[in-house]
């Protein structure tokens, strides 16, 4: 049986006046029901575009899928008609966006917005859909849902809006829930509430979640699988414990080393990755990370590595990930964390 959702060497490029922006340039992963995939990377690494591509929400033009495939239950989404895609969206695959402030339509009532997917996909009557919307609001923990459904988004607080967004996404019991930085705009205590809610929902509905975040902590908290992205490419993929505790890619090492911790003293000095992320129009030849990589060799500058499975279920896009000596040079091994 094919996996619930499968992405195969996806390349989404933007054709702009200034050149071709390779926003997503080779991303592959598979997702099973009930799994949570965390997608991490810095801004511009292509994680959001990947998520939007899964929903076919990237405006085309300027965007264009130049190669690769996205399959939902073995069926290629890319080859579906627009109508079929529309039937999938919001029904089988739903999405939550980063900024709950702007992602809700300011001139429609919350209840109506939540009811809309039901009316669209389930053919519910206005009344039924409204009732279901109130129900959903209750499920995501909005007090007095029957009254609050009549509110407009600006009358909700940030946390409540994100709950409403989640309710909207959940309306049709989707099989895949894509969350694009759902907590970035929120305070940390509210973030904890939202993450808790998502965990709760997954436990109840068994849907798969794709959690996109730049915050390694959030991903570590919620994901069981992690995809690390850099400059439009997937550089590491594996189970969360593996990726966080035995990272294979120097970029992942760098990320973890850059991060101060609030749960322990970190010895006073961070080890940042040097330099700046590359321009997506003008990617360096070879490994995109090579200019910033402390371990880069000549081969890295000329030959682009592919995502290769090193351990079972743990892959990395580095020429040297299979090299045990190389891995021993990682800061993780030095500090004995490996």
Site string for other proteins, 204-243 (x = CB under 8 A): ----------xxxxxxxx-x----------------xx--
- The stretch among 69-77, 141-149, 297-305, 315-323 that binds other proteins (CB under 8 A) is 141-149
Considering only 205, 271, 297, 333, the residue that binds other proteins (CB under 8 A) is 271
Residue 278 binds other proteins (CB under 8 A):
yes
Q: Is 85 left (phi over 0), alpha (psi -120 to 50) or beta?
A: alpha
Residue 187 binds other proteins (CB under 8 A):
yes
Residue 128 binds other proteins (CB under 8 A):
no
CB of 304 to other proteins, least distance (A): 18
Q: Which of residues 41-80 bind other proteins (CB under 8 A)?
A: 42-43, 52, 55, 57
Residue 155 binds other proteins (CB under 8 A):
yes
Residue 275 binds other proteins (CB under 8 A):
yes
Q: Is 111 left (phi over 0), alpha (psi -120 to 50) or beta?
A: alpha
Considering only 282, 302, 328, 335, the residue that binds other proteins (CB under 8 A) is 282
- The stretch among 4-12, 140-148, 301-309, 328-336 that binds other proteins (CB under 8 A) is 140-148
Which residue, 1 or 153, is less far from other proteins as judged by CB?
Answer: 153
Considering only 160, 208, 235, 293, the residue that binds other proteins (CB under 8 A) is 160
The pairing of beta strand 5-16 with beta strand 19-31: antiparallel
Considering only 5, 88, 124, 310, the residue that binds other proteins (CB under 8 A) is 88
Which residue, 68 or 159, is less far from other proteins as judged by CB?
Answer: 159
- The stretch among 4-12, 26-34, 185-193, 297-305 that binds other proteins (CB under 8 A) is 185-193
């Amino acid at each position: 049986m094919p996996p619930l959702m499968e992405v195969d060497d996806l390349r989404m490029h933007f054709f702009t006046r200034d050149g071709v922006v390779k926003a997503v340039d080779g991303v592959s992963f598979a997702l099973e029901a009930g799994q949570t995939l965390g997608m991490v990377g810095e801004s511009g690494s292509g994680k959001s575009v990947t998520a939007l591509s899964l929903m076919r929400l990237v405006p085309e033009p300027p965007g264009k899928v130049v190669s690769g495939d996205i399959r939902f239950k073995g069926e290629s989404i890319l080859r579906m008609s627009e109508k079929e895609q529309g039937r999938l969206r919001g029904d089988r695959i739903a999405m939550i966006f980063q900024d709950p402030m702007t992602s809700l339509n300011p001139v429609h009532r919350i209840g109506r917005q939540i009811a809309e997917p039901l009316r669209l996909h389930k053919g519910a009557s206005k009344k039924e859909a409204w009732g279901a919307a109130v129900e959903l609001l209750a499920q995501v923990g909005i007090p007095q849902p029957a009254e609050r459904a009549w509110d407009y988004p600006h009358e909700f607080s940030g946390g409540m809006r994100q709950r409403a967004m989640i309710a909207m996404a959940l309306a049709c019991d989707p099989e895949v829930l894509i969350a694009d930085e759902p907590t970035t705009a929120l305070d940390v205590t509210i973030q904890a509430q939202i993450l808790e809610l998502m965990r709760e929902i997954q436990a109840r509905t068994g849907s798969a979640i794709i959690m996109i975040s730049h915050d390694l902590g959030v991903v570590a908290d919620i994901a069981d699988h992690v995809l690390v992205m850099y400059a439009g490419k997937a550089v590491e993929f594996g189970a969360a414990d593996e990726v966080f505790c035995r990272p294979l890619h120097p970029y992942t090492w760098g990320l973890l080393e850059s991060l101060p911790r609030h749960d322990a003293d970190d010895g006073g000095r961070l080890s940042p990755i040097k330099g700046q992320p590359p321009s997506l129009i003008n990617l360096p030849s070879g490994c995109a990370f090579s200019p910033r990589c402390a371990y880069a060799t000549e081969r890295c500058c000329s030959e682009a590595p592919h995502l290769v499975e090193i351990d079972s279920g743990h892959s990395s896009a580095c020429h040297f990930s299979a090299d045990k000596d190389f891995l021993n040079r990682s800061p993780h091994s030095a500090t004995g964390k490996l």
